[in-house]
Structure 1
Amino acid sequence: MTRKKKRKQSKKQSLDRPKRMSENGNRTTTPEEEEVVVEPLSPAARLFHAPRFNCCILAVIGCKTKINPHVVIEGLKHTLIKHPRFSSKLEDDGEKRGKKPRWVRTNVNVQDHVIVPEIDLEGIQDTEQFTDHYVTNLTTVPLNTSKPLWEIHILNVKTSDAESIAVIRSHHSLGDGLSLMSLVLACTRKTSDPEALPTVPVMKRHQLFRSDRNLFIRSVLAVWLVMRLILNTVVDVLLFLATTLFLKDTETPLKGGADVGLNPKRFAHRIVPLDDIKLIKNAMKMTINDVLLGVTQAALSRYLNRRYDNNNKEDEITRGNRNNLPRRIRLRATVLSLADMMGKGSKFRWGNRIGYVILPFSITLRTNPLDHLSKAKATIDRKKLSLEAALTYFSAKLVLNTLGVKVAAKIVHRALSNTTMSFSNIVGPVEEISFYGHPISYFAPSVYGHPQALTVHFQSYANKMTISTAVDPKAISDPRKLCDDFEESLKAIKVAVLERGLLKDTS
């Protein structure tokens, strides 16, 4: 038996041993586990620990009741810390003695990871501002590497959308957004059935070849699609290389400075009806992603048009109807292709299996709001016929393994710096759920630490869609106003759909 096989077998045997719990229910390890349960960081995990690229995922969970910290702690002891990543700490000796950064299984004291600050509620005049400042301050304090890289902050402060909030912060090296969201959902149960796990819809695969077409038509279509796939992939890869080397976005008010990745981030969110998005989707015969991209393009066009207007003497209606946008704005978003797109078949695999896709945005004022949707659909349909995500994933992995983390981090940092924003959409549970017995009002996930001044996440939950923004306040000082633009753009598109009789209003 080779030495490599022995290590794998030893590791498997250690993971198969029954886990030992301390008297207070915290996760512990046996002496044998402490010796063998050591795992090197994956290349992607090492990338997220590189200088100037220290990324964390931050998710705000709004609850309909006050949160009982003791109940949450007891729940975490039986769920979250059973996962290896959440019961291992990072050991990094600076690669001394030939040792690379690695995960080492450790004892987990759950109380050290649940923070409940003392809050003088009588002294708080604006609870929204208080929670905003609290969450922003978290982005200035690094996670403690002497323990597993995650924590939960409980704020029993009433806001406009919830009676209390829980802020879950974890390092991006633990897993990508989809991985971590799946793990958080495993800590929840249906409100209607406290024993049942949430139901998350599965993305349907688009059927390119209809069975009713004859063999000749299907063959011609297959050849045509392959040719388009190759052409689009070549163009996208060349544009990605150009972006890494020299191709920069227009310097708009949404663009951050050289130190944008190190600046504190400010978070804001807006909750809109998911039924409105579905109504537009059905009327326009497109996907929810098409609608969300169209709404985002309309919202950013509206926001930038206002920022470019230097004349504040006229009334807001007059100014809002005037086009102040420069011509030919290049504004692009990096979209992460998450684990389910990289896994074999439809099986989910934990980790940071992500590839980058650069998505061009059309920034312009349009007389017909539905034109934003048509442009968005054309963009997404083209990206579907491209292997950009897969090639960037495997290329990044190759660079990491051959040239090292520093070179890979520099390449990714430069590519992100030359674009404007990040954009993503995560599908959530279709029914209302509870977080250790606390009914949830909304999810608002985000990320910080990457070199962009704006991040936009869409998160569906039951009959709601949360629009979550993370901004660099040096570039975007009014994130709530930006959220207003998202809400107003969605309303304008819905009105346009109803006025044109594309679909009757069922509300």
Structure 2
Amino acid sequence: MEFGEEGLLQEPVSPGGQFINSSVLSLAILAILESQVPIDDSQTFFLLKNVFLPINPRFSSIMVEGADKKNKQWKKVTVKVEDHVHVPIFSSGMSPASYDIYFDEYITKIASETFPQSRPLWELHLFKYPTSHAAGQMIFKIHHALGDGYSLMGALLSCLQNAHNPSIPLTFPTLKSAKNETSSRSRAFEFMPKILSSVFNGAWDFSWSILKGTWVEDDRTPIRSGVEGVEFRPVSVSTLMLPIEEIKLIKNKLGVTINDVITGTIFMGIRMYIQEMNSEKSSSQNCTALVLLNTRLVAGYKSVQEMLIETNKSWGNRFVFLQVSVPKSSEVSKPLDFVWEAHNIIKRQRKSSAWYFTTRLWDILKKFRGAEAASKYIYNTLKNTSITITNMIGPLEQMSLVNHPIEGIYFIVTGSPQCLSVTAMSYMGKLRIALVAEKDFIDTNVLQACMKDAFRLICEAVNEFPIK
């Protein structure tokens, strides 16, 4: 991928990039890095110019109309780095608890702001005050049109080093597939039923996704107000930590995946919160979660160079939504049932062909009605459901950014027309769950407590099971 003269790149904006940067829908990813030491910003401009910008031409480009007026292209511009760096100023000498409040207010403010389309779609915010979590915090805000979480995390990680030994690369947890011990003859007999099941489930799931993208809405609950324009309302961001080793223990005992354990915990926490806030109707209210699925056929992060080469093309927005019904407490009462329900539903959805047909539908809408129509369809799917859940894998070792050891890292997604979204990221043996909730509608303190209680109850219940 090369630049020509300053002007158009030799690359159009992907359909996904156009869908999530339109007049209808605009999504952004915020990656928050918590520094173990006070932030020294003396090298910021140099690093952005010489390390960050060269990672991908899109970081030095804006989105413009193509010659055909239907498709957009990336246009290279001169980047004024100082326009992209923000350092808020507050009173000095206050307590970490006081700066916690300022940080919460600041992240709420920048999460609600939209990017100016006249300059490249990224920003860096340096919060240089000690909070209860860190000595300083670096916030990378990047528009989702530049790439999905996989792409952007790969880019961010390429700027980081192993904190204890920079010469040793960062490593990540391996994703091991379950062994298939079924004989070839048995697999042959199972092949046709699986194909038929995939077709049937795909048709059903695809039909349901169309309904969700048009007029069928979730019930109004304590996590879904159902009002218009919720994406423009202030949000509250809070996080909680879960130990990866305990999650793995649950996974091994139940024979499920780590994602199943995480999703089951979130589902149970949501139901407990709804019960706490609205006990009369909570057991039967319909809630749908959009669980993001990475469609790349890769097991871990690729380097930026690998993502950009012609034969791979794994950079970009390569995800689909799996529509998963949050189990009702009237039907699921035991803690482990939430994990098994998550496991069964997500397993079936992954094998369904619905996600393929959904992406084809987006392409058809774009072709015949334009990118705005496809964007509107995705917007309605988000608006008519209750929650989005997504997660990423982080490094096992502590990482460092220019001699700033990173104490913690998490990410959030903003701009969605939902009252609640949940993201999760592993780092140094712990899982950081971030809750992005509509301010003054969802009580994040109660919701956070419900999530912790759900995990505790699942841990207690799983102790009755032998390790598989």
TM norm structure 1: 0.83
Report the structure number with the largest CA radius of gyration. Answer: 1
Partner of 1:331: 287
Paired with 2:138 and 2:150, the residues of 1 have a C-alpha distance of 19
Letter paired with 1:104 = K
Higher relative contact order (CA 8 A, sep 6+): 2
Question: Do 2:24 and 2:372's aligned partners in 1 also have CA atoms closer than 8 Å?
Answer: no
Shift of 1:104: 1.5
- Work out whether 1:416 is the aligned partner of 2:382: yes
Partner of 2:301: none
Shift of 1:112: 2.9
Partner of 2:211: 242
Partner of 1:59: 31
Shift of 1:297: 1.2
Q: How many residues align?
A: 455
Cα RMSD of the aligned pairs, angstroms, is 2.6
Partner of 1:117: 88
Partner of 1:403: 369
Secondary structure class of the residue paired with 1:335: strand
Shift of 1:258: 1.1
Partner of 1:451: 417
Partner of 2:392: 426
Letter paired with 1:294 = G
Letter paired with 1:364 = S
Return the match for 1:305 from 275, 293, 303: 275
Paired with 1:86 and 1:46, the residues of 2 have a C-alpha distance of 14
Partner of 2:304: none
| Runs (5+) with no aligned partner, structure 2 | 299-306
Shift of 1:98: 4.3
Question: Do 1:38 and 1:104's aligned partners in 2 also have CA atoms closer than 8 Å?
Answer: no
Question: Do 2:124 and 2:138's aligned partners in 1 also have CA atoms closer than 8 Å?
Answer: yes
Instruction: Flag the 1:269–1:161 CA change in 2: closer, same or farther, 3 A.
Output: same
Instruction: Flag the 1:237–1:122 CA change in 2: closer, same or farther, 3 A.
Output: same
Letter paired with 1:111 = E
Letter paired with 1:106 = V
Partner of 1:219: 188
| Runs (5+) with no aligned partner, structure 1 | 1-11, 16-31, 310-323
Question: Do 1:189 and 1:433's aligned partners in 2 also have CA atoms closer than 8 Å?
Answer: yes
Instruction: Flag the 1:37–1:418 CA change in 2: closer, same or farther, 3 A.
Output: closer
Partner of 2:231: 261
Shift of 1:122: 3.1
Instruction: Flag the 1:236–1:206 CA change in 2: closer, same or farther, 3 A.
Output: farther
Secondary structure class of the residue paired with 1:154: strand
Residues 35-184 of structure 1 aligned to structure 2 (within 5 Å): 35=7, 37=9, 39-92=11-64, 98=69, 101-122=72-93, 126-184=98-156
Shift of 1:273: 1.3
Paired with 2:9 and 2:344, the residues of 1 have a C-alpha distance of 49
Residues 331-410 of structure 1 aligned to structure 2 (within 5 Å): 331-341=287-297, 349-364=314-329, 368-410=334-376
**CA-to-partner distance for each residue in 1:379-434, whole Å, 9 max, x for gaps?**
12211221222221222123213310221122111121111110112111122111
Secondary structure class of the residue paired with 2:405: strand
**CA-to-partner distance for each residue in 1:37-86, whole Å, 9 max, x for gaps?**
36432222122221231111112111211121123433333321003344
Instruction: Flag the 1:481–1:238 CA change in 2: closer, same or farther, 3 A.
Output: same
Paired with 1:402 and 1:336, the residues of 2 have a C-alpha distance of 26
Instruction: Flag the 1:468–1:46 CA change in 2: closer, same or farther, 3 A.
Output: same
**CA-to-partner distance for each residue in 1:218-275, whole Å, 9 max, x for gaps?**
2111122112111111110011112123321111111131111222222111122111
Return the match for 1:279 from 239, 249, 264: 249
Shift of 1:359: 1.1
Moved more, 428-437 or 105-114: 105-114
Question: Do 1:137 and 1:264's aligned partners in 2 also have CA atoms closer than 8 Å?
Answer: yes
